[in-house]
Amino acid sequence: MGKSVSCDDKCMNKVFHFDAPREKYHCDAAILWCFDNRFELGFRKFLKRIGVVNSDPIKVAGGAKCLASPEREADREFVLDQIRKSMRLHGTTRVILMVHSDCGAYGGLAGFGGDAEAEAKHHEAELRRAAASLRKAIPGVEVKAYFVDFDGIWEAEVETAEEAKRSVA
């Protein structure tokens, strides 16, 4: 450490060393999830369990809310653009959507009057809307959707790419 890199009149000082692989990687899934860190460890362990080793994380307030019920259409377009870049740059074919309990972007659990069941039902519907929005924008993409609470991770059943093709035909 202490080494500098000259950049015209300015310089950068190396403050930490690590070795990272230089090879381009194949992404197992682009993950659209909330930046609320309370669920990070549990969700990462779950991703590893389902075989997601290399991911392109897209962390935004509310996670899949940006596709289901964005505050601004530009939010949805930004997220879709990030997913398309993951597909183009890292060969991603699967997108994992996540929403969680007590999310501030939805007004927290208090936004559902403290009713965890009402919150879970709402988030299940949001995940279905997010998956439909994603499939409309990027046909054929594989989508999995999960609701995370303080007790575990719950899979929301969303239409598969094949089912989506059949329902359009």
Sequential pLDDT tens for the chain (169 residues): 556 566 666 788 999 999 998 988 999 999 999 999 999 999 999 999 999 999 999 999 999 999 999 999 999 999 999 999 999 999 999 999 999 999 999 999 999 999 999 999 999 999 999 999 999 999 999 999 999 999 999 999 997 656 655 555 5
Cα 121 to Cα 112: distance, rounded to the nearest angstrom: 10
Cα 51 to Cα 94: distance, rounded to the nearest angstrom: 12
Handedness of CA 76, 78, 80, 83 (dihedral sign): negative
Topology (CATH) of 20-168: Beta-carbonic Anhydrase; Chain A (3.40.1050)
- Contacts for 137 with CB less than 8 Å, ≥ 6 apart: 80
Handedness of CA 95, 101, 53, 24 (dihedral sign): positive
Is-above-0.85 flag for pTM? yes
